[in-house]
Amino acid sequence: MRAISSKNVFFKGQLIEAAVIFDKGIIIDVVEKNTLPSDCTCQDYAELIIMPGLVDTHVHINEPGRTDWEGFNTATQAAAAGGITTVIDMPLNCIPVTTTIDAVEAKKSCLKDQIWVDIGFHGGVIPGNENQLEPMMAAGINSFKAFMIDSGVEEFPASDTNTLDKAMPILASGDATLLVHAELDTCNEEFKVQDKKSYQEFLASRPDSWEVNAIEEIIRLSEKHSCKVHIVHLSSAKALDLIKSARNKGIKITAETCPHYLTLSSDTIPDGDGRYKCCPPIRNNDNQESLWQALSDGTIDFIVSDHSPCTPALKKLEEQNLWEAWGGISSLQFGLSLIWNQLKLNNLSISHLVKWMCERPAFLVGLESSKGKIQAGYQADFVIWDPEAKHTIDKNDILYKNKISAYEQHTVFGVVEQTILNGEIVYNKNTINFTKSPKGKYL
Ligand SMILES: [Zn+2]
Q: How far is the CA of 31 from the centre of ligand 1 (A)?
A: 40
Task: State the helix-helix crossing angle for 101-108 and 130-138, rounded to 10 degrees.
Answer: 50
Average pLDDT of the chain?
A: 96
Q: What's the rounded mean pLDDT across residues 10-34? A: 97
Question: Residue 367 — left, alpha, or beta (φ > 0 → left; ψ -120 to 50 → alpha)?
Answer: alpha
Answer yes or no: is pLDDT of 84 > 70: yes
Rounded to the nearest angstrom, the distance between the alpha carbon of 242 and the centre of ligand 1 is 22
C-alpha Rg value of the chain to the nearest Å: 21
Distance in angstroms (rounded) separating the CA atoms of residues 234 and 243: 11
pLDDT, one tens digit per residue, over 290-349 is 999 999 999 999 999 999 999 999 999 889 999 999 999 999 999 999 999 999 999 999
What average pLDDT score do residues 215-220 get? 98
pLDDT at residue 387, rounded to an integer: 98
Nearest to 123 by CA among 171, 75, 72: 171
Per residue in 109-154, pLDDT tens? 999 999 999 999 999 999 999 999 999 999 999 999 999 999 999 9
Identify which of 115, 69, 117, 76 has the alpha carbon closest to the alpha carbon of residue 92.
69
The predicted-structure confidence for 408-426, as pLDDT tens digits, reads as follows: 999 999 999 999 999 999 9
Banded pLDDT at 209 (limits 50, 70, 90): very high
Q: How far is the CA of 305 from the centre of ligand 1 (A)?
A: 8
Query: Is residue 435's pLDDT more than 90?
Result: no
Q: What percent of the chain clears pLDDT 90, i.e. is strictly above it? A: 94
Cα(43) to ligand 1 centroid in Å equals: 38
**What is the distance in A from the centroid of ligand 1 to the CA of 11?**
31
- Is a pLDDT exceeding 90 seen at residue 228? yes
Instruction: Say how many Å lie between the CA of residue 83 and the centre of ligand 1.
Output: 20
Residue 89 has pLDDT above 90, yes or no: yes
Sequence spans of domains, the chain: 53-372
Sign of CA dihedral 207, 205, 327, 345: negative
Side-chain half-sphere of 440: how many Cα atoms within 13 Å? 31
Going from the Cα of 360 to the center of ligand 1, the distance in angstroms, rounded, reads: 18
Neighbouring residues of 30: CB distance < 8 A, sequence distance ≥ 6? 9, 11, 18, 19, 20, 21, 374, 375, 376
Q: Compute the distance between CA of residue 183 and CA of residue 279 in angstroms, rounded to an integer.
A: 9
Query: Which band of pLDDT confidence, cut at 50, 70 and 90, is reported for residue 430?
Result: confident
Distance 70 CA to ligand 1 centre (A): 13
314: CA distance to ligand 1 center in Å? 16
**pLDDT confidence of residue 439:** 87
CATH number listed for the domain at residues 53-372: 3.20.20.140
The rounded Å distance from CA 2 to ligand 1 centre is: 38
Residue with the larger pLDDT of the pair 181 and 192: 181
Banded pLDDT at 187 (limits 50, 70, 90): confident
Q: What is the pLDDT of residues 340-395, one digit of tens each?
A: 999 999 999 999 999 999 999 999 999 999 999 999 999 999 999 999 999 999 99
Percent of residues, the chain, with pLDDT higher than 70:
99
**pLDDT tens per residue, range 30-63:** 999 999 999 999 999 999 999 999 999 999 999 9
Give the separation between CA 83 and CA 339, rounded to whole angstroms: 13
**Å from CA of 60 to ligand 1 middle:** 6
Q: Which pLDDT score is estimated for 433?
A: 66
Q: What value does the mean pLDDT take over residues 154-178?
A: 97
Specify burial of residue 238 (Cβ count, 10 A radius: 0-12, 13-18, 19+): middle
Rounded mean pLDDT, 178-192: 89
Ligand 1 centroid to residue 66 C-alpha, Å: 15
Burial label for 309, CB within 10 Å (0-12, 13-18, 19+), is: buried
CA distance 302 to 142: 18
Question: CA of 423: how far to CAs of 159, 364, 395, in Å?
Answer: 41, 24, 30
pLDDT score, position 378: 98
Cis peptide before 157 (omega within 30 of 0): no
* 89 alpha carbon – ligand 1 mean position (Å): 9
